[in-house]
Amino acid sequence: MTERALTGLATDVVVFTITDHRLRVLLVQRSGEPFSGYWSLPGGMVPINEALDDCASRMLREKTGVHGVYLEQLYSFGRPERDPRGRVVSVSYYALVPPARLPSLPAESQRLAWKPVDALPELAFDHGDIIAMAHRRLAAKLEYSTIALQFMGERFTLSELQSVYETILGEQLDKRNFRKRVRNLPCIEDTGERFRAGKHRPARLFRVTRPDRVDIIK
């Protein structure tokens, strides 16, 4: 049994993005003990004068350079044994980064990578539980909020949006029913424009009217 002297408060952030039709999480490979070689969520200790939200936001910015994206507190994990070095309670958050705003990860650091949620490497601490809970929360929010729009860029097609839903839920959706649901959301608006890609009919481009807002539906 390790000495239990240290005590601390950390934030960990589950940073989601979608690329290549897979939901991915930003992970850092640990170099020191404990869990050397294992992967962990970006996070760190909360400075004495920093709000929890600010700390999570800063963690995200320091690792990715991304700011101003959707960020929400998830849960606090506090099993005494979760960190073998001592008592560390983690206030966890999750963030959504649209693929269009993906930073190019610094090439030197192979220790930072976007790993698919359905094929995670070995994770340190209880970070597997944290990611699982974040994924559940995200999937649940798809059903009753407009949170999925946080993954979209400036303009997008309905097929792209549908693909986001399918990727997060892990199941196919009916195209006509999906469009029925989504077309009369007040926060989505048809720009008259079209988007051509490949040898087929071009798609209408849509825009989010209030990109910063996540509305609760119903």
Q: Which residues bind DNA (CB under 7 A)?
A: 157-159, 174-177, 179-181, 194, 196, 198-204, 218
Interaction partner, residue 1 (DNA, a second copy, none; CB < 5-8 Å by kind):
none
Candidate list 2, 76, 191, 209; residue touching a second copy; CB under 8 A = 76
Amino acid at the residue 40: S
**Minimum separation from the CB atom of position 105 to a second copy (A):** 29
Interaction partner, residue 202 (a second copy, DNA, none; CB < 5-8 Å by kind):
DNA
Smaller CB separation from DNA, 172 or 209? 172
Interaction partner, residue 137 (a second copy, DNA, none; CB < 5-8 Å by kind):
none
Interaction partner, residue 21 (DNA, a second copy, none; CB < 5-8 Å by kind):
none
**Minimum separation from the CB atom of position 177 to a second copy (A):** 17
Q: Is 217 exposed, middle or buried (0-12, 13-18, 19+ CB in 10 A)?
A: exposed
Helix (H) or strand (E) holding 140: helix 127-144
Smaller CB separation from DNA, 93 or 151? 151
Smaller CB separation from a second copy, 24 or 135? 135
Q: Give whole-number Cα distances, 6 to 3, 78, 86, 91, 105, in Å.
A: 8, 14, 5, 17, 32
CB 204 within 8 A of CB 194: yes
**Minimum separation from the CB atom of position 179 to DNA (A):** 5
Q: How far apart are the first and last CA of the chain?
A: 51
Per DSSP, the residues of 20-48 read TTEEEEEEEE--SSSSTT-EE-SEEEPPT
Scanning residues 11 to 70, which ones bind a second copy (CB under 8 A)?
46, 48-53
Beta-carbon neighbour count of residue 48 at 10 Å?
A: 6
